[in-house]
Amino acid sequence: MARNDQRRQKKLEAKRTKRKEQSKAVARLKSTGVTERMLAGSRWQITESRISDSLWDQGMGYAVLVRRGPGGMAAMSMFLLDVYCLGVKDAIAHIGPEIDVSTRLSYMADNGTRWLKVSPEYVRKLVEGSIGYALNLGLTPHRDCAAAIKLFGDIDASKCEDEFEFGAEGKPRFISGPHDSPARCQAVMDTLNRTCGAGNFHYVLHVNDPNDLFEDELEDDDEMYDEEYDE
């Protein structure tokens, strides 16, 4: 009986020691910057790798990688990809309670995002390919991308056999978003004109006032809102 009690005490002590170590690890993690946190998270177990199913049909969508860490923590990198032109349009590098990550993904699903499970290698190859395509056009990824990609760690993108075709109909296609300012749109257009040349890219511009943008470049019968034009 005494021997059984000793075994139980050893097991309890081991569990307490493990919890203390996990708590210390979480505390150290919280005291570092976001890049260091994502680097630490890159050694954790991968639990999610997915993309939104609208990505290749609409040219815009999400790619997500999630890793589970100690003490109920999780790390997530989420990329808003524009595979037609801009590459990584937005990025989130997040480490926090695992429930926060799962809640965010569930909320997106409840609000219309349909997810496709893909391999971690697919996610890395897709994100890095998007970045490379945009850089060749003179367009840089979102500022938080540098931290977010640290979560990839040792994922080997070469193991993904899928081949990705960026752009649309053989050319870049810039589609402005509802929050893109006229100055931002003009900057992208100027860059594409410089790197691609006139006639070598498409664009779709969403404007609040259909009389205040590119009016002189339209034919008489063209609609000015949500239409596509060749530059």
Low-confidence ranges of the chain (pLDDT < 50): 27-29, 31, 210-231
Rounded-to-integer distance, Cα 226 and Cα 30, Å: 44
Distance from the first to the final alpha carbon of the chain: 85
pLDDT at 29: 47
> Measured at the alpha carbon of residue 52, what is the angle toward residues 166 and 63, in degrees to the nearest 5?
70
Could you report the per-residue pLDDT of 109-134, keeping only the tens digit for each? 999 999 999 999 999 999 999 999 99
Could you report the per-residue pLDDT of 53-85, keeping only the tens digit for each? 999 999 999 999 999 998 899 999 999 999 999
pTM above 0.95? Answer: no
pLDDT at 225: 27
Rounded-to-integer distance, Cα 169 and Cα 25, Å: 49
Q: Where are the beta strands (DSSP E) in 72-220?
A: 73-82, 87-97, 115-117, 173-175, 202-204
